[in-house]
């Protein structure tokens, strides 16, 4: 029995879903750090605005601007985290997601480069490759889907030999 060296279509989807969940966890940690920075910066801006000893009127405004900018980054990061969770979940379902959804989720990984770094770009490239390749088109048409997506097919070559001596 000869085994194919290339990955099956559902294995690409499984791998992409696992990567998306790992990236969602990493991005969630980064979003927490950004959120804490927003809270700290906003608190400092409010403290500076309420402190009568601060003579510079522009300092609290600049701190508030920084808090606003980083809160926008935090909201984009939350959107990226949610998109990766949904992305991973939809790829694990028995019916394939739409090709458009995979493309949008891959582009969102490019947008989330500030929260996932080069790994976010790598998932975006892999997702776009999978969505736009011939293998992806076959997967999204439903022809390449196996019913038990989460499990590898049984191979009799992995069965234990009953004549094997167990050396203990």
pLDDT in tens, the chain (168 residues): 444 445 676 788 888 999 999 999 999 999 999 999 999 999 988 888 888 888 887 888 888 898 999 999 999 999 999 999 999 999 888 788 888 999 999 998 998 888 888 898 999 999 999 999 888 888 888 765 544 445 555 555 555 666 666 655
For residue 115, how many other CB atoms are within 10 A of its CB?
26
**Quick one: three-class SS letters along 24-89?**
HHHHHHHHHHHHHHHHHHHHHHHHHHHCCCCCCCHHHHHHHHHHHHHHHHHHHHHHHHHHHHHHHH
Counting every residue written for the chain, the total comes to: 168
């Amino acid at each position: 029995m000869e085994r194919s060296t290339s990955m099956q279509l559902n294995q690409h989807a499984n791998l992409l879903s696992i990567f998306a969940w790992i990236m969602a966890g990493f991005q969630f940690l980064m979003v927490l750090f950004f959120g804490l920075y927003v809270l700290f910066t906003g608190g400092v801006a409010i403290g500076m605005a309420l402190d009568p000893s601060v003579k510079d009127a522009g300092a609290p405004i600049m701190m508030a601007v920084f808090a606003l900018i980083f809160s926008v980054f935090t909201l984009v990061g939350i959107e990226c985290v949610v998109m990766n969770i949904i992305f991973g979940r939809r790829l694990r379902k028995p019916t394939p997601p739409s090709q458009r959804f995979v493309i949008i989720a891959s582009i969102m990984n490019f947008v989330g480069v500030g929260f996932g770094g080069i790994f976010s770009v790598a998932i975006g490239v892999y997702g776009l490759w999978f969505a736009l390749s011939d293998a992806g088109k076959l997967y999204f048409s439903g022809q390449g889907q196996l019913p038990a997506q989460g499990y590898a097919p049984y191979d009799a070559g992995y069965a234990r030999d009953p004549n094997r001596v167990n050396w203990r």
